[in-house]
Chains A and B, each alone.
Chain A
Amino acid sequence: MTLVVTLVEISTLVVIHNMQQHDSKENAILEVQTITKSLNNDFLQVILNPSTDTLADISYRLSAFKKINGIVLFNDKNEPIFQYGTIEKIKSLQEEIIKSSDLFSQENLFMKKNLVADGYTFGFTLIDINLSEYQRKQELITWTILGILPFALLLGFIISLYLSKSYTKPFTKLLNAMKKSDPTNNVLIEVQTSSNNEIKELFNGFNHLMKEVFNSSKKLHFQIEHDQLTSIKNRFFIEKELLEVLKDESETNYNLLYINLDQFKLINDSAGYEAGDALLKMIVSEYGKIIPDNSTFARVDGDGFMVLLKNSSRESALEFLEKSLSKLRDFRFVWESEAYTISASIGFVSFKPYEYTLKELIKITNSTIYNAKALGRNKSYIFNPADDVAQRFNRELETATFVKEALSNGPSKFELFAQAIVPLQYETDEVSYEILIRMWDKENNFIPPDSFLPTAQRYQLMAEIDIWVLWTYLECVTQNKQHIDKLHSAHINLAGSSLTNPDFQAKVKEAVMHFNFPWSKLELEVTETSAVGNFNKANEFIVWLKNVGIGLALDDFGTGMASFEYLKSLPFDVVKIDGSFVKDMHNDPIDKAVIRYIHEISELKGQETVAEYVETQEDVDVLREIGITYGQGYFLGKPKPLVEWL
Chain B
Amino acid sequence: MKQILFILSLLLNLTILQASSLRVEADTLQNNLSKYKILDTRDENIYSRGHILHALNFPVSLTYEDKTINGKLTSPLKMQKIIQNLGLNTKDTLVVYDDGSFFDASRLFWTLEVYGFSNVKLLNAGYKQWSAKDFSTSTETSIVQKSDYISIVNNKRLATKFTTQIATKNPSHVIVDARGLNAYLGKESAAKRFGHIPKAISIPATHNINYNKELTELKGDKALKELYKEININQKVIIYCAIGKIASTNYFAMRELGYDVSNYDASWREWGNDFALPIVQELKK
> Interface residues, chain A, CB within 8 Å of chain B?
46, 50-53, 55-60, 63, 72-73, 80-84, 87, 91
Contact = CB atoms under 8 A, between A and B. Distances in A.
Interface string B137-157: 000000000001011111110
B178 to A, nearest CB: 19
B237 interface: no
Interface string B153-164: 111101111110
A50 B152 CA distance: 11
Contacts of A82: 76, 150-153
Contacts of A59: 152-155
Given A56-B163, A57-B163, A60-B162, A50 B77 contact: yes
Contacts of B72: 52
A72 B150 contact: yes
B208 interface: no
Interface residues of B, number: 26
Contacts of B73: 52
B220 to A, nearest CB: 32
B155 A51 contact: no
B76 A51 contact: yes
B266 interface: yes
Contact of A83 (B116, B160, B265): B116
Contacts of A80: 148, 150
Given A53-B162, A57-B163, 4 more contacts: A63-B155, A81-B150, A82-B76, A82-B151
B75 interface: yes
Contacts of A87: 150
Contacts of B106: none
Nearest to B162: A57
Contacts of B161: 53
Contacts of A63: 155-156
Most buried by A among B155, B156, B265: B155
B80 interface: yes
Most buried by A among B73, B76, B156, B162: B76
Contacts of A56: 114, 153-155, 158-160, 163
A213 B154 CA distance: 97
Given A81-B77, A82-B76, A53 B151 contact: no
The 10 closest A-B pairs by CB, nearest first: A55-B153, A59-B155, A60-B155, A83-B150, A80-B150, A56-B158, A56-B155, A53-B160, A50-B76, A83-B152
Contacts of B74: 52
Contacts of B155: 55-60, 63
Nearest to B166: A60
A60 B163 contact: yes
B151 A81 contact: yes
Contacts of B114: 52, 56
B84 to A, nearest CB: 10
A51 B150 contact: no
A375 B30 CA distance: 168
A597 to B, nearest CB: 158
A537 B156 CA distance: 153
